[in-house]
Amino acid sequence: MRSKNRISRKMMAVLAAVLIAAMLLTGCGGGGGGSAASSVAPAPTPGPTPNPDPVPEPTPTPTPEPGEMIAMPDEKTGWIWYIRVTGSNTATLVCTGYEGTGEPSGSLMLPEKLGKYTITEIGSNVFRLGAYNGSAVEEIIIPASVTKIADEAFCYIPELKKVTLKGPAKLGKKSFWYCYNLEEVNLNDNITEIPDEAFELCYALTKIHLPANLKTIGEAAFKNTGLQEVVFPESVRSIGKDAFRIVNNQFTFGLTYIKLNQGLEEVGDGAFSGVTANQIYLPHSVKHIGEKAFGNGDAYASRVVYYEGSASEWRKVSIGNGYDDWNNARIVYSATPERYDAVRNGTKDEVIWRFQPNGVGTMALAGFDWNSLVPSGSIVLPDAVETVSGRFPVTGIDGAVSYCTGVTSVKIPEGVQYATGFEKCTALSSISLPKSLKKLKSSAFSGCTSLTNISLPEGVTTIENGVFNGCTALSNVSLPSTLKTIGADAFSGCRALRTIRLPEGLQTIEDSAFSGNWFTTITIPSSVTEIGARAFYDSPYLETVILNGSCKFGTDNNIFPQGVFSNCSKLREVQMNGDIEEIPAHMFESCSTLNKLKLPPRLKTIRTDAFRNCGVEEIKLPDTVTTIEEKAFEFSYVKKIALSKGMKTIPHRAFYNSALRAVYIPASMQTVDVGAFENCFLTDIYYGGSETDWAAMRIEATGNDALTSARIHYNATVSDLGLTEEFNLLSMLGF
């Protein structure tokens, strides 16, 4: 189009020159064919004076018809703009057709007037000419003369950062859609509507001043923008579907708070869905709230709704279905804007609790919002919560005041059945637990280093993993008769706990439950059926252990395994009663002071390293024992041991590097494996069979020099071993 304009002007100039030359030639025509030398020409006869040629009348420029598109120059820039005539003196800016020095860049003031035409409208895709899409324009200023902006007028201008509308122009749909670098928008205060998708996908838009007379915000008007704060003028009556919704939070997390204006009547479906605002102010003028209007799908969100009206007024509001975080949001009735602002700005002392569903018609406390008041001192947890859906009792504590170092005492209300969420409250010294409590969940009070006493009410059945882990000042614990399970690490590291009574009825003590404790005596009730690996590991002051019942023991399969009582360096006496059939691997490893050991009468198996580096010096195995595994007494202090009459094999390294001096070997023995007695100080063997029987036994030569060089007493009995009087007495009692 530009080239055609230029060619037509040049052609007109050429045609005019040709016409003038022809006229001159015609006016200057010569005489006949006579020669100049023939004769003197006669004096010319005077002719009539010629009249001048008439000046042609200029052809009048035709007046464009309405709807016709014409090119008009911009005197300020030299550009040619294309406009569509809408009236005798008005036009729509359609697109640009540059006759200047380049495409627009930087700040661009759209023309208010071109020739006699006032620009009153901006057409769709005003910058779309060929492949050009206004990519260099960073600022657009729209003059006050413009009253209407068409759909998609400025959509997808990549570099656009700022827009100013000087007049009350009516915006079209998608006016600035996907201007993803747009940062600032200045709207005229007389604009009454922001249409559908007007600023959708403007990721960089973080602030906007809404017009003072704005009434309607259309569907998806600010969907997926970077807006974090919006002040709604009193004139706004409706906010459309998905107006401020965040679907993709790759670039933004949406509004951080929502304070809606008095006079607002309708909030559309999903209007604020996906935003991070946890505190919402609603005026009592609201009549309808759409489906998922404030939902973000996070049932754990700390939503608090400050509602200007009463509870009865709230029940009259039409509310669509929403996500859990909206349905379960706490609601504060008769709230004022001032209270909302005070809480939001941190000038009002108000803890904002977080809740989550906990079954039908109940809630669980899920902690508190760190952006609100941080709890401290003596606190009473709420027993119920007012939500947008009604009032619900609190039946569980899934999070409370974790890491609140200023909390000194806590009261958990009646109705709560389980609790956790007090870990690392280092000043917490007092806890009031309700009679309704059934369970303490994982790490509930771990790291509460000021807690000295805890009394669990009757009805508690479970202490989960790590509940009192690292409570270094805990010295007094009262456990209920209803307790069934003590979880892994439940009391590990409680160095001030010198005594504890485990109730009859307890069934399970899990891995490391009491490891690192400083108590001196522990009695395991007969009801216990399972004790996990390392349950009492590294208890440096433990002296006496009494195990009743028929419990099974856990095995640590780590690279550096540890047994139930391993590394209890001051353990002196162990009584194993009941029907225990197996001593697991590493159970008494490194119990270097152990000197009194009562083995269970129905014992069958002693696993590897069970008494490794153990201090017991004399042992009589019950006749029920059929198996001891390799290295069972490796590096032990045992000097005398009576093996059971049912044993057939002494395994590899069973007594390697031990202090063994004398051993009773029954006639049932068939095999002595490699290294069974390697590096021992063995001097005497008391063998229950004859010399012939001994000769028939298979003894591996390697690592058994001590055995083959010791004195053998044939047809011997256990009494010949010469156990101490004290040990023989214990043996008579079943030790």
For residue 572, the cross-strand partners are: none
Count of residues making up the chain: 735
What gap in Å lies between CA 509 and CA 61, rounded to an integer?
103
What gap in Å lies between CA 642 and CA 616, rounded to an integer?
13
- Cα distances (angstroms) measured from residue 564 to each of 198, 276, 358: 69, 49, 37
Spell out the residues 6+ positions from residue 12 whose beta carbon is closer than 8 angstroms to its own. Answer: none
Higher per-residue pLDDT: 337 or 31: 337
What gap in Å lies between CA 695 and CA 136, rounded to an integer?
104
Q: Residue 102: pLDDT above 90? A: no
Q: For position 96, what pLDDT does the model report?
A: 63
Q: For position 149, what pLDDT does the model report?
A: 96
3-state secondary structure of 725: helix
User: How do residues 362-386 score in pLDDT, each as one tens digit?
Assistant: 999 999 888 788 999 999 999 999 9
Phi, psi of 652 (to 5 degrees): -55, 125
What gap in Å lies between CA 500 and CA 512, rounded to an integer?
16
Phi, psi of 494 (to 5 degrees): -85, 80
What gap in Å lies between CA 182 and CA 134, rounded to an integer?
13
For residue 363, the cross-strand partners are: 357, 394
Higher per-residue pLDDT: 672 or 323: 672
3-state secondary structure of 326: helix
Per-residue pLDDT, averaged over 583-607, amounts to 94
What sign results for the dihedral spanned by CA atoms 53, 54, 59, 60? positive
Spell out the residues 6+ positions from residue 251 whose beta carbon is closer than 8 angstroms to its own. Answer: 203, 224, 226
Q: Which amino acid is at 558?
A: N
Q: Residue 392: pLDDT above 90? A: yes
Per-residue pLDDT, averaged over 526-532, amounts to 94
Q: Residue 17: pLDDT above 90? A: no
Per-residue pLDDT, averaged over 565-592, amounts to 93
How many CA atoms, within 13 angstroms, populate the side-chain half-sphere of residue 587? 23
- Cα distances (angstroms) measured from residue 583 to each of 483, 531, 600, 619: 26, 12, 10, 14
Q: For position 244, what pLDDT does the model report?
A: 96
Nearest to 493 by CA among 448, 426, 529: 448
Strand (E) positions, 200-253? 216-217, 238-239
Cβ(272)–Cβ(294) below 8 Å: yes
Per-residue pLDDT, averaged over 238-251, amounts to 85
Q: Residue 653: pLDDT above 80? A: yes
What gap in Å lies between CA 728 and CA 619, rounded to an integer?
10
pLDDT class for 301, splitting at 50, 70, 90? low
Worst-scoring range by mean pLDDT, 35-49, 170-184, 420-434? Answer: 35-49
Cβ(544)–Cβ(572) below 8 Å: yes
Q: For position 253, what pLDDT does the model report?
A: 64
DSSP character at residue 718: G
Paired tokens of 675: 């290294």
Higher per-residue pLDDT: 420 or 549: 420
- Report the DSSP pairing between strands 508-509 and 485-486: parallel
- Tell me how crowded residue 553 is: count the other CB atoms within 10 A of its CB: 23
Q: Which helix (H) or strand (E) holds 364?
A: strand 363-368
- Cα distances (angstroms) measured from residue 522 to each of 120, 508, 572: 92, 15, 12
Q: Which helix (H) or strand (E) holds 642?
A: strand 640-642
Per-residue pLDDT, averaged over 495-521, amounts to 94
Per-residue pLDDT, averaged over 542-561, amounts to 83
Q: Residue 250: pLDDT above 80? A: no
Q: Which residues of 382-394 are buried (b: 16+ CB within 10 A; e: fewer)?
A: bbebbbbeeebbb
Spell out the residues 6+ positions from residue 46 whose beta carbon is closer than 8 angstroms to its own. Answer: none
- Let me know if 231 is exposed, middle or buried by CB neighbors in 10 A (0-12, 13-18, 19+): exposed
Paired tokens of 277: 């605002």
Cβ(518)–Cβ(495) below 8 Å: yes
pLDDT class for 316, splitting at 50, 70, 90? very high
Angle at the Cα of 513 from the Cα atoms of 507 and 516, rounded to 5 degrees: 145
Worst-scoring range by mean pLDDT, 268-277, 322-331, 335-344? Answer: 322-331
Q: Residue 211: pLDDT above 80? A: yes
Cβ(275)–Cβ(253) below 8 Å: yes
pLDDT class for 53, splitting at 50, 70, 90? low
- Report the DSSP pairing between strands 80-85 and 90-97: antiparallel
How many CA atoms, within 13 angstroms, populate the side-chain half-sphere of residue 478? 8
Q: For position 732, what pLDDT does the model report?
A: 36
What gap in Å lies between CA 310 and CA 315, rounded to an integer?
9
Nearest to 310 by CA among 291, 290, 336: 336
Nearest to 194 by CA among 167, 222, 217: 217
